[in-house]
Amino acid sequence: MTTTETGREAVERHARTMFEQQGYAGTSVRALATAAGVDPALVIRWFGSKEELFLRVMSLAERPLPDLGGPTGSLGERLVEFALAPDQISVRRDLTALIRASDSSSVRSRLRHVTRTLFVERLVDRLEGPHAELRAHLIASQLGGLLQSWDVAEDESLLAASRERIVALYGPAVQALIDPPTSTSPDA
């Protein structure tokens, strides 16, 4: 703990790092308290539970959002570029930590809320054609899968690929859901 940092701030700082590196299950209240230099009882008093602390520090609400403006014809590639940008590593880590801890109902609820409010609702406004909300959810799923795969990549071909190559290959897959369906069938 620094001289200007409170015990509560130290717990939040250490919690973010430990949850990102060790995951929710691998991080104990006792270890958090020890790292922050406070008594474990204070962690529970300040935050209520480990789960509440996790939800507080793993909030994606303060993170930069992808720019959904500009031409929709290039939005797929731009979303993939944003997701894999080096300066988005903390967003990828937070999202991966939330996904890994989603066996908790309140974490799962928070993940759904964050996905809906920070991404899906904004994207729906940009999508033309039928099933915009469903397509927005599918795009979020595609990007979430990519983020998680990128963060925990063990496959040599994925690790060896450049960001540019992944954007070139994955961007069109995302774009296929951005572009309005061309079929005139009622299920389109």
How remote is the C-alpha of 142 from its chain's centroid?
Answer: 12
User: What pLDDT, on a 0 to 100 scale, did the predictor assign at position 21?
Assistant: 83
Q: Is the dihedral of CA 21, 27, 29, 35 positive or negative?
A: negative
Domain boundaries for CATH 1.10.10.60 within the chain = 7-57
Q: pLDDT tens for residues 96-130? A: 777 778 788 888 888 888 788 878 999 999 999 99
Q: pLDDT tens for residues 169-185? A: 999 999 999 998 886 55
User: What pLDDT, on a 0 to 100 scale, did the predictor assign at position 86?
Assistant: 83
Q: What is the mean pLDDT of the chain?
A: 85
Domain 7-57, CATH homologous superfamily name and number: Homeodomain-like (1.10.10.60)
Answer whether residue 26 shows pLDDT above 60. yes
Instruction: Give 8 or 155, the one with higher predicted confidence.
Output: 8
